[in-house]
A and B are shown apart, each in its own frame.
Chain A
Amino acid sequence: MVEVKLENLTKVFGKVVAVDHINLTVRDGEFLVLLGPSGCGKTTTLRCIAGLEAPDEGRVYFDEEDVTYLPPRDRDISMVFQSYAIWPHMSVYENIAFPLKMRKAPASEIDEKVKWAAELLRIGELLDRYPHQLSGGQRQRVAVARAIVVEPKVLLMDEPLSNLDALLRVLMRSELKKLQRRIKVTTIYVTHDQVEAMTMADRIAVMNEGRIMQVGSSTEVYDRPENLFVAGFIGSPRMNFFDATVRDGELDAEDFKLKLTPEQARALSGMEGKTVTVGIRPEHIYTPDSAKGESLQELDGTLDFFEQLGSDTVLHVRVGGKLLLAKISGRYTADLGSRIKVLLDLSKLHIFDKAGRSVL
């Protein structure tokens, strides 16, 4: 197991800069998730680490060793492909044994390790089958077993759960995470699914347009997004955003004014008269009977729409010209268009400057 370090990693395809001067350190034994929308460069980054893509600039290190131009076979890595890529002409046993065979392991060791990996992933009774006789979930397990059978230095996973149905995906999420804890391999996991990232990652690197927007634990990127992109990308329903002007200890959003807490006022002291973007998560906007916290501000609005999610309800509330989403726990029913009071938890505001950087 190693520490993986990316230094100014850059990959260009034609005129498209897929990966743009990335710097990132993945700690020894860490489960790091590269999270971002499609086309953000996360898979290309992974492929550069695997050696399937040669970067145009920058370096890749495994501990102190520079592996930037080392072919994949010499990197001592494993990978779970999005398509699984388990070979159709080999049985499950042969598929899992392949990495060991390439490393010229003795037959007895191959047999022992294949059975160990198969037991770990509970596919022990499928060893004689061929891939086309397996379900999607079973194929996925074969792909993972093949990846862990050699105890690689780095385990790379490229959206390994995206082809599974919803139920199985949730199950495999926790299983993969537990497996990684058990074998303690440095893991880099690519996904566009924020729930997957939040539940599995030790740390998340949020990517957009070839750059890393923020690296942090799931609570860090959720509670303290460093920029507008991360704030908007993580969380569902999405964070509410609106523009406001800083004036006399208040945020003037035209339709309403929000009073700043002393701490916020201090942070914004140099921005008097400037326009900022204010963000607040739907779960920090309450109805009067679900309200909690101290620095609450009441706003009058009309109910535009609501979504019953079973355990929660998402209210779409129109306040002047702005639409705010509020997520409250439990059920809520009211006529559409009726008057409604909502309370904003001012201590939970996120404030971003014109460049989209968090100022709090």
Chain B
Amino acid sequence: MGVKPPSSNFSKLIPYLLLLPTLMYLLFFVGYPIVYAVKLAFTSESGSLTLSNFRSLTSDMYFWEALKYTFLLAGVIIPLQAALALGVSLLLYRGFKGANLCLYVFLIPLTISDVAAALIWYNMLTGSGYLNKVLLKLGLISQPIHFFGYAYRSMEAVAIVVTEVWRATAIVFVILFAGLQMIGRDYIEAADVFGASTWQKIRYVILPMLKPSFQSAIIIRTLFAMQVFAVVWILAGRDIPVLAGEAYYWQSDVRNPHIAACYALLVAVISIALGWMYLKLFKPRYLEEGR
């Protein structure tokens, strides 16, 4: 006689019971707000169904600016971060004296909140800030470089890029470096033996094998870039509008939750679309053709 598995009804329920707290949390703190946001976006103040919120959204000059700048910032910041993170990962992977110390130092910005990071860089770059003082002292400039104010919008953009790269490159790096260490040394040594130069090793072996990690890192960074807010708000205010900033502006300053909800929904839809696109785009060919 074989041993029968225990078949009480209770043991069948255990997985569901264990999942219940998480499900409840998701339902009340994620599910409900989403449904509520959709409702807000598609209803007027009187409560009737309408598309007028989206109409007034698209007729607002700031909306198009926000859309433009959100994508522009993401388009500049993410490639910069990817390149920088890849470079540092490869350097640390090669190994040198003090590599571990570098690793820890490089991760410090990861522990600092975005608000704090923005304030640090604001103080550094402001007219009487650290950077200008040093440059003036060295005699490299005679007038302080202005980074802030509507008249210097392009410099504000530079400050945002610098802050975001400083603050969030580490997360890309962590993912790429972990991925790099997953690649067996044998694969890279085989490339060595069969005549590949350093660049050929990176191009033909390391990068293709790092693709899954790249995918994860870029998806995460893109999703965060679509939500970029605190750094932009502190360094540039509405000089450089972004989608999440506009949502905040309409909710807190104008007190129009309907338009704010439209922005929030838009951010969500764009994020989902981009995430899906990346998954399609980056899917490794050699895995797709398998069973």
**Is A85 in contact with chain B by the CB < 8 A criterion?**
yes
Alpha-carbon gap, A79 to B195, bound state (A) = 11
How many residues of chain A get a CB closer than 8 Å to chain B's CBs?
A: 28
Q: Knowing A130-B286, A130-B289 are in contact, say whether A87-B193 is a contact too (CB < 8 A).
A: no
Alpha-carbon gap, A263 to B192, bound state (A) = 55
Q: Knowing A98-B204, A102-B200, A130-B289 are in contact, say whether A87-B195 is a contact too (CB < 8 A).
A: no
> Interface digits, B177-218 against A, CB 8 Å rule (1 contact, 0 not)?
000000010110111111111001000110011010000000
Q: Is the CB of A72 within 8 A of B286?
A: no
Q: Knowing A87-B205, A88-B209, A130-B290 are in contact, say whether A81-B189 is a contact too (CB < 8 A).
A: yes
Which of B184, B186, B196, B284 is the one whose CB lies under 8 Å from A89? B284
Closest to A131 in B: B286
Alpha-carbon gap, A50 to B246, bound state (A) = 61
Interface of B (DSSP majority class): helix
A40-97 CB contacts (< 8 Å) to partner B: 50-52, 71-73, 77-79, 81-83, 85-91
Alpha-carbon gap, A102 to B191, bound state (A) = 9
Q: Is the CB of A78 within 8 A of B194?
A: yes
**Is A103 in contact with chain B by the CB < 8 A criterion?**
yes
Alpha-carbon gap, A83 to B188, bound state (A) = 12
Alpha-carbon gap, A101 to B208, bound state (A) = 17
Alpha-carbon gap, A87 to B188, bound state (A) = 9
**Is A133 in contact with chain B by the CB < 8 A criterion?**
yes
Alpha-carbon gap, A317 to B268, bound state (A) = 81
Closest chain-B Cβ to A48's Cβ sits at a distance in Å of: 13
**Is A331 in contact with chain B by the CB < 8 A criterion?**
no
Residues of B near A82 (CB, < 8 A) are 186
Q: Is the CB of B193 within 8 A of A79?
A: yes
Residues of A near B190 (CB, < 8 A) are 79, 81, 85-87
Q: Is the CB of A52 within 8 A of B195?
A: no
Q: Knowing A130-B290, A132-B286, A133-B290 are in contact, say whether A85-B186 is a contact too (CB < 8 A).
A: yes
Q: Is the CB of B189 within 8 A of A88?
A: no
Closest chain-B Cβ to A163's Cβ sits at a distance in Å of: 12
Q: Knowing A78-B194, A99-B194, A130-B286 are in contact, say whether A52-B189 is a contact too (CB < 8 A).
A: yes
Q: Is the CB of A71 within 8 A of B194?
A: no
B74-131 CB contacts (< 8 Å) to partner A: none
**Is A350 in contact with chain B by the CB < 8 A criterion?**
no
Which of A72, A86, A133 is the one whose CB lies under 8 Å from B193? A72
Alpha-carbon gap, A146 to B208, bound state (A) = 19
Closest to B205 in A: A87
Q: Is the CB of A102 within 8 A of B195?
A: yes
Alpha-carbon gap, A355 to B183, bound state (A) = 46
Q: Is the CB of B286 within 8 A of A89?
A: yes
Which of B192, B197, B289 is the one whose CB lies under 8 Å from A52? B192
Residues of A near B196 (CB, < 8 A) are 73, 98, 102
Which of B186, B208, B284 is the one whose CB lies under 8 Å from A81? B186
Closest chain-B Cβ to A264's Cβ sits at a distance in Å of: 50
In the complex, given contacts A73-B197, A98-B204, what are 7 additional A-B residue pairs having Cβ atoms less than 8 angstroms apart? A51-B192, A71-B192, A72-B193, A73-B193, A85-B186, A85-B187, A99-B194
Q: List 6 A-B contacts (CB under 8 A).
A: A73-B192, A73-B197, A87-B209, A89-B211, A98-B194, A130-B290
Instruction: Tell me the A residues contacting B by CB distance below 8 Å.
Output: 50-52, 71-73, 77-79, 81-83, 85-91, 98-99, 102-103, 130, 132-133, 146, 150
